[in-house]
Amino acid sequence: MSEETVDLTLQRLIRMEKRLDANDGTLTEIKHRLADLEAGQAGIKTDIGHTLSILSRMQVTLDRIDTRLDRIERRLELNETH
């Protein structure tokens, strides 16, 4: 190989190395952002679980109130008969 060909090859390899380094930095940033998104998603799932638990307890409470109200209406003979 001539000296000029070696220099061109070396320059090309240096440029390729710089591009690979830049890509590595970008890939690392993407990995961090993905980890943040996964953590956020896990938090949302936890929040949804808590919300469903609260809604379930509220439904139980409403069912009890409805049962008590029916009993009170029957005792006071307030039932509407159609």
pLDDT in tens, 15-33: 999 999 999 999 999 999 9
Residue 48 carries which side chain, given as an amino acid letter? I
Q: If you average pLDDT over every residue of the chain, what do you get?
A: 94
- For the full predicted model, state whether its pTM sits above 0.85: no
CA-atom Rg of the chain in angstroms? 34
Residue 79: pLDDT band (50, 70, 90) is confident
User: Cβ distance 73 to 79 under 8 Å?
Assistant: yes
Note the pLDDT of residue 62: 98
Note the pLDDT of residue 81: 63
